[in-house]
Homo-oligomer: A and B are copies of this chain.
Amino acid sequence: MCFGAHCSGHSTKKDTGSSHCWGPEGSGSRAPAPRGAPGGSPARAPRRSPYLSARGHVAHVLLGSAEEGYAAYHADKYDEESNPDGIINFGTSENKLCFDLMSKRVSQIAKRNMLRNSSLVFILREEVARFLTHYCKAPAPLKAENVIVLNGCGSLFSALATVLCDPGEAVLIATPFYGGITQSVFLYGNVKLVYAYLDSKITGTSTRPFQLTVDKLEKALQDAQAEGVTVRALILLNPQNPLGDIYSLSELQDYLEFAKRHELHVIVDEIYMLSVFDESATFHSVLGMDRLPDPQRTHVMWGISKDFAVSGIRFGTLYTENQDVANAVASLCYFHGVCGPVQHKVAQLLRDRDWINQVYLRANHARLKAAHTYVTDELKTLGVPFLNRNAGFFVWIDFRKYLRTGTFEEEMLLWRRFLDNKVLLSCGKAFECSEPGWFRIIFADKIHRLQLGE
């Protein structure tokens, strides 16, 4: 089984900092606009093609621009043997530590016992429900009929944005956040994001840098409403990408109560839920809460690409008690289908609790922790500040002291200097970070590549 390739066309969109290529042109701007380079200033808008619709033009420009880092990487990819002086990719959020375990396991999954047609879909949804019940510590068994399955969480964001919002309406999210969501909700859905800007200052009710508080959500919502923007939902990432934060139960409760007060849907993306690699940290899924404040407006997504280190397998799942939402999303599922053979393999994979617990998660967490320790120790030695967290594949690094005037132009220059030195990172601007100078590095890689990247 090949995990390498997932989507095919002229290009692939991956979670690389440099491929997140639109954002606010200034504070408060919410209309996505094409941008020329990661974190850089707006490029001149290319000539509108006579062959495309207005939205087709946006999609076209998006693909053509802003892939500088990723394009450079592909042209000069590091390879131990064939290109030892090539670019090391610390930009794409992939777990490269468990390829051995996963390729062995997937090839073991028997091809006999292949199930036919509708029963296959049903069994997969049953397996997902059982899996989430266990790993999300649900107080009561989750139900197969509340499970939707499709080809990845990007598609889920697209479908949810479309069925929850009408064109031009908006969804609230805190920055910095995984920038691919901007495109996922906009390209088909024409849904905008409204930002609650977090920063590194510890003030007011916050006790840690970039802490999400209800005050900040309230302010962002009020500002949007004052500008006449209709906000329909709140997106929560837990564990958070790129911060690595995981939310406490009381924080979750606060965010969900805030959403309920304003009749906002909450889309909770828990795609890194099993990538919490330190036993001292406890992840709380919203599906594990005793009582959801607004269950009909709470929708939880998860997928296998991160937690099972198989980014080539497009498989995402939505859990929602709301049958109207489930039906509407299912209607769009025709465009986001998962092949029969993949459904079968995923069902088999999720079923084997012993292997997951005793073999896979133990090894994966130990490897993630070792790689994280290696990178953070190096950062300490270099005297570079960072957020020390226990989840995800990334470290959020504070390079502000290397910027003289603290602008995003300087941030981009620094990003490019890394690239010139064969290291691809993601700059904060790609996550709509409001403070210049922050970078995300992916540590879920072999130590020898991490060493090379120094």
A310 nearest CB neighbor, chain B only: B340
Q: How far is the CA of A232 from the CA of B53 in the complex (A)?
A: 9
Asked if residues B57 and A328 are in contact (CB atoms below 8 Å), the reply is yes
Complex interface residues of chain A between 124 and 172 (CB less than 8 A to chain B): 124-125, 145, 148-152, 154-155, 158, 162-167, 169
**Contact (Cβ within 8 A) B164 A322:** no
CA distance A162 to B164 in the complex (A): 19
List of B residues within 8 angstroms of A333 by Cβ: 7-10, 12
Q: Evaluate contact between A338 and B7: CB separation under 8 angstroms.
A: yes
Query: Which B residues are CB-close (under 8 A) to A449?
Result: none
A324 sits at the interface (CB 8 A)? yes
Confirm or deny: A284 has a beta carbon within 8 angstroms of a beta carbon on chain B.
no
A162 near B53: Cβ-Cβ < 8 Å: yes
Asked if residues B8 and A327 are in contact (CB atoms below 8 Å), the reply is no
- A188 / chain B contacts, CB cutoff of 8 Å: 158, 162, 188-189, 332, 335
Q: A6-B337, A11-B330, A343-B8 are in contact. Are A107 and B111 (CB under 8 A)?
A: yes
* CB-CB contacts below 8 Å: A52-94 with B: 52-57, 59-60, 62-64, 74
Asked if A336 is at the interface of the complex by the 8 Å CB criterion, the answer is: yes
Stretch at the interface among A115-123, A207-215, A274-282, A365-373: A115-123
B150–A9 CB distance below 8 A: yes
Known: A163-B52, A342-B339. A328 touches B63 (CB 8 A): yes
Q: Is the beta-carbon distance between A340 and B3 smaller than 8 angstroms?
A: yes
Contact A60 B328 (CB under 8 A): yes
From A122, which residue of chain B is reached at the shortest CB distance? B8
A32 to B1, CA, bound (A): 42
- Supposing A52-B164, A111-B107, A116-B4 touch, asked if A312 and B330 sit within 8 A by C-beta, the answer is no
Which of A53, A325, A329 gathers most chain B CB within 10 Å?
Answer: A53
Docked pose: A5 CA to B114 CA in angstroms: 11
- Residues of B near A297 (CB, < 8 A) are 51
Select from chain B the residue with minimum beta-carbon distance to A120: B5
B120–A2 contact, CB under 8 A? yes
Given contacts A8-B125, A53-B166, contact A341 B1 (CB under 8 A): yes
Given A328-B56, A332-B188, residue A8 in contact with residue B121 (CB < 8 A): yes
Cβ-based interface call for A187 (8 A): yes
Using a CB-CB cutoff of 8 Å, which residues 16-72 of chain A contact chain B? Answer: 49, 51-57, 59-60, 62-64
Q: Does A344 contact B (CB under 8 A)?
A: yes
**B4 touching A334, Cβ below 8 Å:** no
A162 CA to B57 CA, complexed, in Å: 10
Task: Name the distance in Å between A108's Cβ and chain B's nearest Cβ.
Answer: 12
A331 CB-CB contact with B under 8 Å: yes
Instruction: Give the Cβ gap from A32 to chain B, nearest Cβ, in Å.
Output: 12
Is A296 at the interface (CB under 8 A from chain B)?
Answer: yes
Pairwise interchain contact A169-B341, C-beta atoms closer than 8 A: no
Contact assessment for B339 and A314 in the assembled complex, using a CB-CB cutoff below 8 Å: yes
Q: A446 interface residue, CB < 8 Å from B?
A: no
A356–B36 Cα distance when bound, in Å, is 46
Collect the chain B residues with CB atoms within 8 Å of residue A335's CB.
Answer: 151-152, 154-155, 158, 184, 187-188, 335-336
Question: Contact residues of A with B, CB < 8 Å?
Answer: 1-13, 49, 51-57, 59-60, 62-64, 74, 107, 111, 114-118, 120-121, 124-125, 145, 148-152, 154-155, 158, 162-167, 169, 183-184, 187-190, 232, 265, 296-297, 312-314, 322, 324-344
Question: What are 10 of the A-B contact pairs (CB < 8 Å)?
Answer: A1-B111, A1-B340, A3-B340, A4-B115, A5-B121, A12-B121, A55-B163, A155-B336, A314-B339, A341-B342
Please list the 5 inter-chain residue pairs (A to B) with the smallest Cβ-Cβ separation, ordered nearest first: A56-B163, A7-B337, A9-B330, A9-B333, A4-B117
